[in-house]
Amino acid sequence: MTKTDSNNTAIFPVFKPRTSQVPIRHFALRPGFVWGASTSAYQIEGGIGAESGRGRSIWEDYFDARPHLDNGEIACDHYNRMVEDVAMIKKMGLKAYRFSVAWPRIMPNGKGEINQEGLEFYSRLVDELLKNGIEPYLTLYHWDLPAALEKEGGWASRETCRHFAEYTQVVVNRLGDRVKHWCTFNEPEVIVAGYIGEGLAPGLRNPSLRVQVGHNLMLAHGMAVKALRSYSKDLQVGIVLNLVPAEASNRSKAALDAARRHWQRNYAWYLDGLFKGRYPRVVSLEARRHGVAISQEDMELINQTLDYLGINWYLRQVVNSRGKVLRVPAAQETLMGWEINAAALTRMLIQMKADYKLPPIYITENGAALKDEVVEQGGQPAVHDLERMHYIYDHICALEKASLAGVDIRGYFAWSLMDNLEWSLGFSKTFGIVHVDRKTMQRTVKDSGLWYGLVIKVNTVGRGHG
Ligand code: FCB
């Protein structure tokens, strides 16, 4: 496998829509609803060698310490295949593409010196997308902190927030003339997980850092929002939260209370901070216990107006009266062990509408790791991932229901555009609507991707979306 071989062409197997099994139909969603797919830098780019000018991220350190695991050295080689990948996105009929910028590619040490080559890469990506009529949705931080900053305390240090604002300024100065949709952070809750022992970089195991790290992420978000707004009032600025609703295992008061506490401690924490300007009591108490200072000014910074909320949705959890997360007997699950339950998405969105004054919502990630088999069809590879098609269809139906119930949902992004590095779980957990051959890097649009393209067509025809 070479890093620079870009001769491969995306392959589109002959697709016979199995409409009797998974419909291709018009959904009752808002006019102008955005249809896209998501990726993140470390999971797909590769191109991390010295020649790229990119600095190290916490993930290189993480995988160096665990050399038996798959890592992001090559990933999907997107860094070298960007133009072909954009052509594929266009051919698939997607209207929007959500990607992240790698901070260490822009500022190898996390601060100070700027790597122009890194900025140029994203500038070319944005130009390529726009040229092909695909709207870029840019995320500033999808988990790849520059390793140099981790050595200075990482997200446990408030200094990192200032550096993040500086980095944001550099990126928006270069791309703000063309990128309209900006996201500060992807999934603060999972970033925190990397500090408290849950198998993600930087791989710390210190539960007492939980609130400090989460609060710093919220502060960094607030500072980045200011930096973006100071560049231009016309940008659409938001954040992406992973939300996992906690549902009670029975209707007893104890179980309902335990489920509420679980939700508040892990998820409402961020929602309350962002949209109410205060943290839930369970989080404030934890902050006090660990001596985390949270001022009124901090909360004002966190509670700035946002233009949208991105939600990554994969699963719900069922919690018993002792606060324990239960495995639901006979539940359908993905390879991640995540329960498939689209109806819970509708319930969560309707509940959130009652609990918060929210900006418009985009589902910025949703998808399933399932067993994929590459077969030969007419001399070409094909992946008949009917189950993934069902999964995506059911979740779009769930959004349609929420939308009809008055929730303001503006878009859906499938996770992921292509099979990629599922962090510490490696390449075996494939979420893509495009298959990536690990040896040749050849892309093959799966049946789910072909089906999704047809759904997009049916839902955008005659609306000025092409
Ligand atoms: C989300 C992450 C994304 C991917 C999916 C499966 O939590 O944002 O990078 O790992 O899960």
Residue 113 sits at φ, ψ, to 5 deg, of: -50, 135
Given this model, what pLDDT does residue 10 score?
Answer: 45
The answer to which of 111-125, 173-187, 376-390 has the lowest mean pLDDT is: 376-390
Euclidean distance between CA atoms 48 and 51, whole angstroms: 8
The answer to whether 438 and 421 are in contact (CB under 8 A) is no
Given this model, what pLDDT does residue 365 score?
Answer: 99
**Residue-wise burial string across 157-188, b where 16 or more C-beta atoms lie within 10 A, e elsewhere:** beebbebbbbbbbbbbebbbeebbbbbbbbbb
Which pairing describes strands 443-445 and 434-436: parallel, antiparallel, or unpaired? antiparallel
Our CA dihedral for 97, 425, 343, 253, rounded to 10 degrees, sits at -130
Given this model, what pLDDT does residue 257 score?
Answer: 98
Please give the angle made by the CA atoms of 37, 40 and 41, to the nearest 5 degrees: 135
Q: How far is CA 416 from the centre of its chain?
A: 9
Considering only CA atoms, which of 50, 81, 26, 1 is closest in space to residue 437?
1
The answer to which of 155-159, 195-199, 313-317, 428-432 has the lowest mean pLDDT is: 195-199
Given this model, what pLDDT does residue 198 score?
Answer: 86
Q: Residues near ligand 1 with C-beta < 6 Å?
A: 40, 43, 186-187, 190, 242, 312, 365, 415, 422-423, 431
pLDDT surpasses 70 at 465: no
* Pocket test residue of 38, 139, 141, 187 for ligand 1, highest count of atoms within 8 A of CB: 187
Asked if residue 466 belongs to a domain, the reply is no
> What is the average pLDDT score of the chain?
95
Please tell me the total count of domains within the chain.
1
Asked if residue 141 belongs to a domain, the reply is yes
The fraction of the chain above a pLDDT of 90, given in percent, is 93
In this predicted model, what pLDDT tens digit does every residue of 364-397 receive, in sequence order? 999 999 999 999 998 999 999 999 999 999 999 9
pLDDT surpasses 90 at 81: yes
pLDDT surpasses 90 at 183: yes
In this predicted model, what pLDDT tens digit does every residue of 237-268 receive, in sequence order? 999 999 999 999 999 999 999 999 999 999 99
Euclidean distance between CA atoms 361 and 342, whole angstroms: 17
Considering only CA atoms, which of 386, 423, 341, 356 is closest in space to residue 43?
423
**Confidence category of residue 21, pLDDT binned at 50, 70, 90:** confident
pLDDT surpasses 90 at 462: no
3-class SS of residue 253? helix
**Confidence category of residue 90, pLDDT binned at 50, 70, 90:** very high
Cα atoms in the 13 Å half-sphere on the side-chain side of 429 = 18
Euclidean distance between CA atoms 3 and 16, whole angstroms: 34
Query: Nearest residue CA, atom 10 of ligand 1?
Result: 422
Range of the domain at 109: 2-458
The answer to whether 97 and 135 are in contact (CB under 8 A) is yes
* Pocket test residue of 59, 98, 239, 312 for ligand 1, highest count of atoms within 8 A of CB: 312
Please compute the mean of the pLDDT values over residues 436-441 and round it to a whole number. Answer: 98
Which pairing describes strands 434-436 and 409-415: parallel, antiparallel, or unpaired? unpaired
CA of 353 to the centre of ligand 1 (A): 24
| Unique residue bearing structure tokens 């409402």 | 268
Please compute the mean of the pLDDT values over residues 108-119 and round it to a whole number. Answer: 98
| Unique residue bearing structure tokens 């992004």 | 413
Measured from the Cβ of residue 84, the count of other Cβ atoms closer than 10 Å reads 17
Asked if residue 463 belongs to a domain, the reply is no
CATH number at residue 311: 3.20.20.80
Please compute the mean of the pLDDT values over residues 308-328 and round it to a whole number. Answer: 97
Asked if residue 197 belongs to a domain, the reply is yes
In this predicted model, what pLDDT tens digit does every residue of 193-251 receive, in sequence order? 999 998 999 999 999 999 999 999 999 999 999 999 999 999 999 999 999 999 999 99
Q: Return the higher-pLDDT residue of 11 and 17.
A: 11
In this predicted model, what pLDDT tens digit does every residue of 333-365 receive, in sequence order? 999 999 999 999 999 999 999 999 999 999 999
Given this model, what pLDDT does residue 14 score?
Answer: 56
Active site residues: 187, 365
**Confidence category of residue 2, pLDDT binned at 50, 70, 90:** very low
Per the structure block, which two tokens stand in for 143?
Answer: 């988990």
CA of 20 to the centre of ligand 1 (A): 31
Q: Could you list the beta-strand ranges (E) of 143-220.
A: 181-186
Given this model, what pLDDT does residue 156 score?
Answer: 98
Given this model, what pLDDT does residue 5 score?
Answer: 31
For the chain, the residue count is 466
Given this model, what pLDDT does residue 11 score?
Answer: 59
Distances (CA, A) of 438 to 13, 433, 442: 19, 15, 8
| Unique residue bearing structure tokens 């109806």 | 343
**Confidence category of residue 6, pLDDT binned at 50, 70, 90:** very low
**Residue-wise burial string across 258-267, b where 16 or more C-beta atoms lie within 10 A, e elsewhere:** bbbbbbbbbb
pLDDT surpasses 50 at 9: no
Asked if residue 430 belongs to a domain, the reply is yes
Asked if residue 464 belongs to a domain, the reply is no
Given this model, what pLDDT does residue 461 score?
Answer: 80
